[in-house]
Structure 1
């Protein structure tokens, strides 16, 4: 599995737009530029840049077309590779693998109070967070792990967070089993990957920070 990541930069915002937007279709550009905040525009753009760069660099795939499944999960057309993109605060990440997956990163915002989200937790999860020495870290561990599973499953907002539990990095949704694995990119962020394929548990993860000068 390849996990590419990068950070947004206000100083580089216009130069990044000028450099990378022409590589995508008008429809993709419209989707990127629909955001009001420059941060969201750049995060959206960089997610697509990471995918493009990863496919070209590690899989020798230059021309790729993405589609969207009925459940709104994006996929690569005419290729047996899978990808997933996530971003939070200033970090954008893209994971590419030979099996279906989900990835989620969350900025560990110290201002977040986990008590505001108790309606999205099971009683056991709430107790575990409450008993943790670092409640903020435990809350974002819970959140990123579940979001990664939801993205791997593909149900999106149709699957409530409190409808399943992840125990020992495994969970079951209906008749499908999912496996999760923690990833580390930056000390201020919590990250997880998930898949219905057990390969995710032992797969070698290649982390690569994307820099403009190597693109």
Structure 2
């Protein structure tokens, strides 16, 4: 699938999700309210709904929440990759964990999608080096902001993680409302 098709499908998923969350049935309203930060992360100018879109190969996913604003998602199609090419982006212990894993390919994609989802949730994206923070027990801290990471099972040939900023007044006894939409071709 071409990137232009992935973009269009991602926006379509976003429109469908916003219609469900906010009961708005007007894509013009949605387009007019999407802005981008100085780091090029799209957001709704009223900041009532957080969203993030990712795509890889033949799957497009859209993550949305009306209770969590700083959210990120990453999905990757599992293919053979030379993870050693990415060593400079990893902390030493991360590289060793991947190298010593029984399946280094899967371990790399687990590492990558977790890190990517966090930097997207932070809003700073590629401006945050992957080797500047460590994920432990699916938690991390980036620029004095704490994030939780969750794995999302979508397909056996893909690895997907979402991340969200922990709110100061989070109630751990209740689940946050998160909607994930995917299109699989």
Distance 1:163 1:204, change over 3 A: same
TM-score, normalised by the number of residues in structure 2: 0.85
Quote the residue 1:141 is aligned against: 110
Q: 2:159, 2:41 → 1: CA distance?
A: 22
Q: 1:83, 1:196 → 2: CA distance?
A: 13
- How far did residue 203 of structure 1 move? 3.6
Q: 1:196, 1:159 → 2: CA distance?
A: 15
Quote the residue 1:127 is aligned against: 96
1:101 aligns with 2:64: no
Higher helix share: 1
Q: Is the 2:75–2:113 Cα contact (8 Å) retained in structure 1?
A: yes
Quote the residue 1:14 is aligned against: none
- How far did residue 163 of structure 1 move? 0.9
- How far did residue 190 of structure 1 move? 0.6
Q: How many residues are aligned here?
A: 173
Quote the residue 1:76 is aligned against: 44
Matched residue SS, 1:178: strand
1:44 aligns with 2:13: no
Quote the residue 2:22 is aligned against: 59
Distance 1:57 1:150, change over 3 A: same
Deviations 1:67-92 (A, max 9, x none): 11122211112351110011111111
Q: 2:182, 2:142 → 1: CA distance?
A: 33
RMSD: 2.1
Deviations 1:130-156 (A, max 9, x none): 121111111000000000000001112
Higher deviation after alignment, 73-82 or 138-147: 73-82
Give the number of the structure whose alpha-carbon radius of gyration is greater. 1
Distance 1:55 1:124, change over 3 A: same
TM-score, normalised by the number of residues in structure 1: 0.74
Instruction: Give runs of aligned pairs for residues 110-189 of structure 1, distance below 5 A.
Output: 110=80, 112-189=81-158
Q: 2:76, 2:92 → 1: CA distance?
A: 22
Moved over 2 A (4+): 201-211
Gap regions ≥5 residues in structure 2 = none
Q: 1:84, 1:107 → 2: CA distance?
A: 18
Gap regions ≥5 residues in structure 1 = 1-7, 9-38
